[in-house]
Structure 1
Amino acid sequence: MKKYDVLFFDLFDTVINFSFTNLPLIELSGIRARTTSKEVYEVFRRLHPDVPFPEFYDHFISSYREFQDLKLAENREYPNRDRFLMMLSDMNLAGGEDAPALADYMVKAHMNGLASAVSFPPENESALSALRDAKYRMAIVSNFDYAPTAYSLIEKFGLMRFFEKVIISEEVGWRKPSPVIFEDALKVMGADPDASLFTGDNFHADVAGSKNAGMDSVWLNSRNESLEGLDPEPDYIIPAFPGVLEVLRLS
């Protein structure tokens, strides 16, 4: 087995898990969805009680799609606040002096909802403990557009007992698979890409991104996605996070 000195990990749906089934359920026009929109609407309606929820929800969804397209176009990262400012602008509500503060409150409501749907599986904790005991240096590299919530979850689950550094895309300004965020992570850790291993659940962002940065990669294929035509090919594929121990021959 190749020797690795530094292990890099994606955060969401790799180290910790996000579950849509833990979000509040709404029903609108016969369609059911799990979403943070109700919590965000409760904040929004304090200033704009005349806007009904269905109208708000349409803009909530369209702003998400518009914001994702903006990010994916060049793999740039933008603060989540920009998404809600875009939403208010689309609703012709961005001109008031209260708009920036309202966007901040909407972000916090949205992020609080997302954070409530995150868990840290005990088997992941056990695997990280084994990696720490094996003296691996470890860091997190996450695509996330509101760093305070990422850090709050890291603190909640006590992850800094395992990781030396945390690199969040909002703070870097670039998202995986951009080489910029991987180069930043390698620099922060003083790591050689040839001696680094990256583990993540998103093939495009985590596997292709880390391979293009010169690292070996572990694809956490927990959703059992097709293995046909993978380019580049991951060095290892595991169905669940503890599989990293098998890759490193610790189990």
Structure 2
Amino acid sequence: MMSQRKYDVVLFDLYGTLVDCHVDESSDDAWTALRNALYREGANYVTNDRLREQFEKAANRELGLCGGQDDLREPDLLGAYEELFSDLWIQAGKDLSGKMAWAFRKAALRKLALYPGALDMLRTLKGQGMRIILLSNAQSCYTRPELEALGLDDIFDDVILSSDEGVRMPSPSIFQCALRAANVPADRVLMVGNDERCDVLGAKAAGIDAVYLDTRGEWIDSHGNVTDVEHITKGDVDDRPAPEAVKSFRGADYRGLLDFILENGTSAVTQQI
């Protein structure tokens, strides 16, 4: 018997959709942590400035390897960390390079936390027989350790990250990767994200419906100003973010999202305001 639900597979963005994450990669603490980690492995960079310079060169080389300066190309920065060793004539494999990447990322993190209810929502979908796939513009060397730290490392049926694919959303090719992983037609797949260009318009171009979670407070008031979503009223709204989404929610409204997916997935396009 065919499922009565509209969607069989849900694609989730990570940062800003399931996870509240703030990173300061310009922090001296982060570069010092990386420099110290490298030093312990025999790679001595005298100053943070010298280390940054070498890392930027290595990252640019990785960008070139994945196809150039197109803003939809995504280098794998693990190669840049490996080059920090090879530039000093030290051989380092992926495990050691990944250790360096995580040392930097941990020191650069200012906040990393699941939005309340995110894990319960994912478990509910799984319990209802739905497949869930992570699709995110992210570096594998940072994100996979973070998934483990957040308790998300075994919840997804598949994980598709831009650094692994060499291209980022909204490129059609990464959505095609997701559709191959989903193994169902595009109209049976739903994308959930918090970025209009990448998550909503990218999905739409691939024939995939998208739900928008306004976790950044982008509803617009009648004067064209970004409005605090805690204080906006329906009468104040004359525009909203991501009008191409099949449904939008203020904030990480997982209860509303679950109701839409499990109960109202076959309904006409609506917008919660």
Structure-1 separation of matches of 2:105 and 2:62:
16
Query: Contact (CA 8 Å) 1:128, 1:162: kept in 2 or not?
Result: yes
Correspondent of 2:74 among 49, 61, 77: 77
After TM superposition, give the deviation of residue 220 of structure 1 in Å. 1.7
**Residue 171 of structure 1 aligns with which residue?**
164
Deviations 1:75-118 (A, max 9, x none): 122111344478x6xxxx96431276699254232234357842
Structure-1 separation of matches of 2:59 and 2:244:
29
**Residue 109 of structure 1 aligns with which residue?**
103
Correspondent of 2:31 among 33, 37, 40: 37
Q: How does 1:44-193 map to 2 (within 5 A)?
A: 44-45=38-39, 51-53=46-48, 55-56=49-50, 59=53, 73-84=70-81, 95-98=87-90, 104=97, 106-113=100-107, 117-147=111-141, 149-159=142-152, 162-193=155-186
Structure-1 separation of matches of 2:161 and 2:86:
28
Correspondent of 1:19 among 15, 19, 22: 22
Structure-1 separation of matches of 2:59 and 2:76:
15
RMSD: 3.9
Query: Aligned pair in 2 of structure 1 residues 63, 219: CA closer, same or farther (>3 Å)?
Result: farther
Comparing both structures, which one devotes a greater share of its residues to helix? Answer: 1
**Residue 248 of structure 1 aligns with which residue?**
261
After TM superposition, give the deviation of residue 63 of structure 1 in Å. 6.1
Stretch moving more, 77-86 or 170-179 = 77-86
Instruction: Name the SS for the 1:170 alignment partner.
Output: helix
Structure-2 separation of matches of 1:50 and 1:171:
28
**Residue 239 of structure 1 aligns with which residue?**
250
Structure-2 separation of matches of 1:231 and 1:17:
20
Query: Aligned pair in 2 of structure 1 residues 128, 61: CA closer, same or farther (>3 Å)?
Result: same
Deviations 1:177-212 (A, max 9, x none): 111111111111212111211011222221121111
Bigger CA radius of gyration: 2
Query: Contact (CA 8 Å) 2:20, 2:114: kept in 1 or not?
Result: yes
After TM superposition, give the deviation of residue 9 of structure 1 in Å. 0.3
Structure-2 separation of matches of 1:171 and 1:8:
17
After TM superposition, give the deviation of residue 171 of structure 1 in Å. 2.3
Structure-2 separation of matches of 1:161 and 1:215:
25
**Residue 29 of structure 1 aligns with which residue?**
none
| Normalised TM-score (structure 1) | 0.73
Query: Contact (CA 8 Å) 2:216, 2:251: kept in 1 or not?
Result: no
Matched residue type, 1:179: P
Correspondent of 1:218 among 211, 218, 225: 211
Structure 1: unaligned runs, 5 residues or longer: 27-32
Query: Contact (CA 8 Å) 2:196, 2:242: kept in 1 or not?
Result: no
Instruction: Name the SS for the 2:70 alignment partner.
Output: helix
Structure 2: unaligned runs, 5 residues or longer: 221-238, 265-273
